[in-house]
Amino acid sequence: MFPSSPLRSRLGIFSASLLLQASVLLPANLATAANAPTSAPAAAPEALTAVKAAHLLDVKSGKLIDQAVILIEGEKIKSVGSKLAIPAQARIIDLGDSTLLPGLIDSHVHLGGYGPRVGTARGALTGAKQAKTTLEAGFTALRTMGGRAFTGIALRDAINDGDIVGPRIYDAGSLLTTTGGHCSGQGTAPEDDKDGPGVANGAEAFEQKVRQQLSMALTLSRSALPADL
C-alpha cells in the first residue's frame, strides 16, 4: 500500500464526492430523459373497402344507379355513386348482378322467448340469435316493442359494446298496461295469479313505471291500455 499523504487523502475525498454526485444525479437524468415528450406515432390509415354491384337503389330519387360503387373507410361509408374511382389499396367486394339498397328498418319486433317455460337467460340467448339472423336478412335497425326482464335492453347494450352481432336496437322495455290488460301476465304463469312487470294502475303508478324504464336509457315507451281509460 502507498503511504498516506494529505494530497492523496484530498484526492480520495474528491473521488468519493464525484461518485456520490453521480449516484444521485444519474437516476434524475434518466428520469428526465424518460419523461421527455415524444412525438405520438402517426395513426394507421383506416382500411378501405369498395363494394361493387350492377345496381343500387337511390331511395331519395326512387331510381336505380347502374354500375354502383360504395367506398367504405373503416366502418363508415365514405361515398356512393356510379363508376366511382376505386383506390389501388382498397379491398374489392364484387357482388356481380346484385342490386344494393339501404338497410331496412323493422318498427315492431319482439326479441327473445315468451311463456312460463322460457326463462330470462334462455330468452336472451334466443334474442341474440334472432338479432344476428335479422341483421343478415338486411335489417340494420329494429324497434323492439316490449319484452320480459329488459331483454331488449341487454341485447342493445351487448351489440353496442361489440359483444354480439346485431342491428341497432331501439327498445321499449316492458310493455306498460293495467291489471287484466294486454300482456298483463307477460312473464308469468296463470297459476301465479300476479301481474307482470309492466302492470300499473292509476296515474301515479304509471308515472313511476315510466321513470323506472327511462332509467334504463330507453328510446321509447309502449303502453297498451283498455279503451275506456
Give the tens place of pLDDT for each residue, 52-101: 999 999 999 999 999 999 999 998 999 999 999 999 999 999 999 999 99
Give the tens place of pLDDT for each residue, 142-194: 998 877 767 888 899 999 999 999 999 998 877 777 666 666 555 544 444 45
The answer to whether 141 and 131 are in contact (CB under 8 A) is: no
pLDDT given at position 148: 72
The C-alpha angle 70, 103, 58, rounded to 5 degrees, equals 55
pLDDT over 90, % of the chain: 41
**Residue the block writes with cell 309492466:** 198
Under 8 Å CB-to-CB from 221, ≥6 apart: which residues?
172, 173, 176, 210, 213, 214
Residue from 199, 190, 126, 124 nearest 154 by CA: 124
Residue 141: half-sphere exposure toward Cβ, Cα within 13 Å: 8
Please indicate, yes or no, whether the overall pTM of this predicted structure exceeds 0.85.
no
Mapped onto helix, strand or coil, the DSSP state of residue 4 is coil
Higher pLDDT, 21 or 99: 99
pLDDT given at position 96: 97
What are the φ and ψ backbone dihedral angles of 221, each rounded to 5 degrees?
A: -135, 145
pLDDT given at position 203: 79
Residue from 208, 131, 133, 136 nearest 171 by CA: 131
pLDDT given at position 169: 94
pLDDT given at position 220: 58
Higher pLDDT, 166 or 197: 166
Least confident span in 96-110, 178-192, 194-208: 178-192
Rg of the chain over Cα atoms, rounded to whole angstroms, equals 33
What value does the mean pLDDT of the chain take? 75
